[in-house]
Amino acid sequence: MEALAIIAPLDYVVEPATGLRDHEYDYLVKGMVFGKKFVWCVNIKTRLTRTGEMQLLIGKDKALHPLLLVTGYVPPEAADRLRSIGIEFIDKAGNMFINQPPLLIFVKGNKPEKEKNTMPGIRLFKGVGLKIVYLLLCRPDLVNSSYRDLSEMTGVALGTVNTTMTELLMKDFILDMGKRGKKILNRKKLFERWVEAYPDYLKPKLFLGRFRGDEYWWKNTNLDPASAQWGGEIAASKLTGYLKPGSATLYTDKKFLTDLVITNRLKKDPQGNVEIFERFWPMDYGFGDLDTTHPIIIYADLLAIGDQRTTETAKMIYEQYLDQYFRQD
């Protein structure tokens, strides 16, 4: 914001989002430029991803005022996309899109400085600890489980569970109430961070293969949830009846992979439209009673695809299945 104030005669105040409806943003910025008042809903992202862009697009319709993205770096291609959908931004490199008539600024192409790694980074959203976060998003009551139980549920090493829970405490996503136990806080924000990190830091580690099947093969396939579940477009189609799937996403256990491929006559194909991933949630703790994955997974899968039709469907999934769930904070 200081960089923007140098370019234009900008007066502003920053207000925290505490108490604002639904916590859709981090801060409010109220200001005046060339005698005209403006208000921004500020969304802060350490790192901008394609999924993060899709989240901004969905959040844009809900925001009470124009969105302003504040982030580390916006690449030129992303800058063009954000400008085209009317999302203003400013980054550390000096790139920005500001559209508050009569003020219009668009700067792209500035390169970020290499940051010195002077302190250990938070790994919460950068590894298999995301499995633990997913369990807590689906089942907040599990926050009071022993670390050993969480390790057994997810197959994550005990040390990683300890690190993940410690970082959740540090980032104010868990409140330790002593003898009264622990409680998950800011679930909506935790969910948003998880959705953004999942396609880059966990999902690739779960990849079991890409295949191709007969046209519309999935329509006559009845999955046993104990062995496999639909994610992505097919799961969204089943839940909403809106989307015509262009690809298939399946989650299964490694021991069921061969049978799943043979039964459905799937052929290995690096260009195929069927992706299979390893399931990472426990089937005996209330996660697996349907042939579709939890709406959180479906939503994340759709945003990772990143086109208009899947983003629209992700918005429907959120409104129908997740909005009320995260309002319970």
Q: For 284-312, what is each residue's pLDDT tens digit?
A: 766 767 899 999 999 999 999 988 899 99
What does DSSP say about strands 207-212 and 248-252: parallel, antiparallel, or unpaired? unpaired
Could you give phi then psi for residue 19, rounded to 5 degrees? 90, -10
Domain with CATH 3.30.460 in the chain: 203-326
Query: Is 2 a residue whose pLDDT tops 70?
Result: no
Mean pLDDT of 169-182: 93
- What radius of gyration, in Å, describes the C-alpha atoms of the chain? 21
Residue type, 118: T
At residue 119 the predicted structure's pLDDT band, cuts being 50, 70 and 90, is very low
- Integer CA distances (angstroms), 278 to 201, 251, 268, 269, in order: 14, 6, 16, 18
Domain with CATH 1.10.10.10 in the chain: 129-201
Mean pLDDT of 88-92: 93
Interatomic CA distance for residues 5 and 11, integer angstroms: 7
pLDDT at 16: 73
Q: Mean pLDDT check: name the lowest of 21-30, 37-46, 301-310, 315-324.
A: 21-30
pTM: 0.82
Architecture of the structural domain at 129-201: Orthogonal Bundle (1.10)
Q: For 245-289, what is each residue's pLDDT tens digit?
A: 999 999 999 999 999 999 999 999 999 999 999 999 988 766 767
Query: Is 38 a residue whose pLDDT tops 90?
Result: no
Architecture of the structural domain at 203-326: 2-Layer Sandwich (3.30)
Q: Mean pLDDT check: name the lowest of 35-49, 144-158, 245-259.
A: 35-49
